Amino acid sequence: MTAVNPFSLSGLIYRFWRKAILTWGLALLESLSLVAFPIVIAWAVDDLLNGSWSGTLKLGGLCLALLFVGAARRFYDTRAYGRIYCTLADEALAEERRKRSTLSTTSARVSLFKELVEFLEESLPSLLNEFIGLFGTLAIIAVIDWRVFLACLGAAGVTLVVYGLSSGKIFRLNQGVNDETEKQVAVLEFGDRSATRRHFGLLTRWRIRISDLETLNYSLIWLAMSAIVIYTIVAVATSGTATMGQVIAVVMYVFGFVEAVLAFPLHYVQFIRLREIAQRLA
């Protein structure tokens, strides 16, 4: 049986799940509340058009629930993940001393640990929100208009292809950034101005290459998402069967789908970077 890399995301989740389970549970409640928002807004609109305040009261209750759940999660997150980072940073420092690593390497790797913890604290709950929101949104869109649902699946397929083809290059570019970052303290200690300029120039070039690739990928995906938004508005508005609330709801759900699809690649790129970091730390 293959041992779990203790510095990988799965290794950290396995080790610290007791500290993180509360924040994941609150993130789940938060994401379910966000998925319900457009349909509750639709109820409020249709009820108001029929002279009723029932839907508006439901919308107000949902807003208050989301406020309390979101505040509780953020209040707890900072404390729980702060303790996790202190533990990991101390262990990383002891391990690098045991291996007699240079100060430059040790400094860089302690900083890399911070990226792992920040992903668990900030990106993982956000990813959970978007994951549940994406599938909840698709399920509701399928009920309202199956044509829009199929169009959304096609756009999601475009996203998978674009990032599937570029994942290897993303990994190699992040590897180049981290290789150069590990030299930084040594370069600064050496104090040679030309070496310092060359070091920061190389870092800049690696980051520009990463940014250019992300820009290309984003542009391709945005074209697909733009087509989905335009198609949805035309298809739903001209169907002749949807109520005003349903039109508003499906357009909001499609916007939510677009936001989730555009956000997932950012998390995927970060995940690839963290995978490289985990291999480096191990």
Query: What is the pLDDT at residue 8?
Result: 62
Query: What is the pLDDT at residue 5?
Result: 57
Encoded amino acid at 176, one letter: G
- What percent of the chain is modeled with pLDDT above 70? 84
pLDDT at 2 over 60: no
242 Rama class: left (phi>0) / alpha (psi -120 to 50) / beta? beta
- Provide long-range contacts, Cβ within 8 A and 24+ apart, for 236-240: 236/144, 236/145, 236/148, 239/145
Rounded to an integer, what distance in angstroms lies between the CA atom of residue 231 and that of residue 152? Answer: 10
Query: What is the pLDDT at residue 1?
Result: 44
Burial class for 18, CB neighbours closer than 10 Å (0-12, 13-18, 19+): exposed
Rounded to an integer, what distance in angstroms lies between the CA atom of residue 134 and that of residue 150? Answer: 14
By the 8 A CB rule, do 186 and 104 touch? yes
Mean pLDDT, range 225-242, rounded to an integer: 79
pLDDT at 275 over 60: yes
pLDDT at 281 over 70: no
Half-sphere exposure of 159 (CA within 13 A, CB side): 24
**Higher per-residue pLDDT: 128 or 211:** 211
3-state secondary structure of 99: coil
Query: What is the pLDDT at residue 168?
Result: 86
pLDDT tens figures, 36-65: 777 788 788 888 888 888 888 888 888 888
Mean of per-residue pLDDT scores for the chain: 78
Q: Which domains does the chain have, with CATH numbers?
A: 9-281 (1.20.1560.10)
Rounded to an integer, what distance in angstroms lies between the CA atom of residue 192 and that of residue 183? Answer: 13
pLDDT tens figures, 174-213: 888 878 877 776 777 766 778 788 878 888 888 888 888 8
pLDDT band at 282 (very low <50, low <70, confident <90, very high): low
By the 8 A CB rule, do 235 and 199 touch? no
pLDDT band at 4 (very low <50, low <70, confident <90, very high): low
pTM above 0.75, yes or no: no
pLDDT tens figures, 72-94: 877 777 777 777 777 777 777 77
By the 8 A CB rule, do 212 and 1 touch? no
Rounded to an integer, what distance in angstroms lies between the CA atom of residue 73 and that of residue 55? Answer: 27
**Higher per-residue pLDDT: 245 or 256:** 256
CB-based burial, 20-38: b 16+ in 10 Å, e otherwise: beebeebbbbbbbbbbbbb
Token pair for 217: 């990928």
Closest CA to 117 of 145, 154, 89: 89
Rounded to an integer, what distance in angstroms lies between the CA atom of residue 175 and that of residue 275? Answer: 10
